[in-house]
């Protein structure tokens, strides 16, 4: 089920699929952890979906955060963490071209220059890439598979840590999106409405 914004004309391609696929209550570890991440993704999609440029660029003082900034930031986190933990490849563009030392907040700030279509496409693409990479790693080595990137301690974490870290990142930012969206058009609720 999708939710269209009431704050302005939503452009085509800016409304997300927010279906939550509940596993059995006795599901195993992998299915339960993936469900937890996908549920927070669906909540985030609902809270940010269907908005026009003005709504995506609106700050909420004293914070300078915007919903567009959240979309771009989470697209970056999806791409970066999938690269580090799952594929061992570069996170790709637009991230590779950024001088992160000179522009540490680039993902947040540059979102104001992007159209809703660009922001939603960037996030959708990052999520799709991460899901594909995770499915391949889980099929090959399960949750015991090790990250492709070694942390400062010298030992790469397992894929469980990737799932927990990603869920935590979303849970934190869904809280922001929840408050911002309510201020924009009054949308409230924990989970998006689901088909009967």
Share of the chain above pLDDT 90, in %: 71
175-196: pLDDT as tens digits: 999 999 999 999 998 888 888 7
CATH number at residue 46: 1.20.120.450
Among 54, 42, 44, 43, which Cα is nearest to 9's? 54
Structure pTM?
A: 0.88
51-77: pLDDT as tens digits: 999 999 999 999 999 999 999 999 999
Considering the domain boundaries, does residue 73 fall inside one?
yes
1 has pLDDT over 80: no
Considering the domain boundaries, does residue 192 fall inside one?
no
For residue 42, give its domain range. 29-185
Q: What are phi and psi of 177, to 5 degrees?
A: -60, -35
77-112: pLDDT as tens digits: 999 999 988 988 889 999 999 999 999 999 999 999
How many structural domains comprise the chain? 1
Considering the domain boundaries, does residue 147 fall inside one?
yes
Question: What does the mean pLDDT of the chain come to?
Answer: 88
């Amino acid at each position: 089920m999708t939710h269209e914004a009431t704050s302005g004309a939503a452009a085509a391609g800016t409304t997300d699929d927010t279906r939550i696929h509940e596993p059995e209550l006795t599901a195993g570890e992998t299915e339960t952890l993936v469900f937890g991440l996908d549920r927070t993704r669906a909540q985030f999609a609902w809270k940010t979906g269907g908005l026009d440029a003005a709504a995506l660029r609106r700050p909420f003082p004293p914070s300078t955060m915007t919903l567009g900034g959240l979309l771009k930031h989470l697209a970056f986190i999806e791409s970066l963490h999938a690269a580090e933990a799952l594929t061992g490849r570069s996170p790709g563009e637009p991230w590779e071209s950024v001088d992160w030392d000179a522009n540490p907040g680039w993902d947040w700030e540059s979102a104001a220059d992007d159209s809703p279509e660009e922001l939603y496409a960037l996030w959708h693409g990052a999520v799709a890439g991460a899901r594909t990479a995770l499915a391949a790693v889980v099929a090959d080595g399960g949750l015991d598979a090790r990250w492709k990137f070694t942390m400062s301690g010298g030992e790469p974490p397992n894929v469980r840590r990737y799932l927990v870290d990603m869920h935590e990142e979303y849970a934190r930012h869904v809280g922001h999106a929840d408050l911002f969206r309510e201020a924009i058009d009054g949308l409230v609720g924990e989970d998006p409405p689901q088909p009967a």
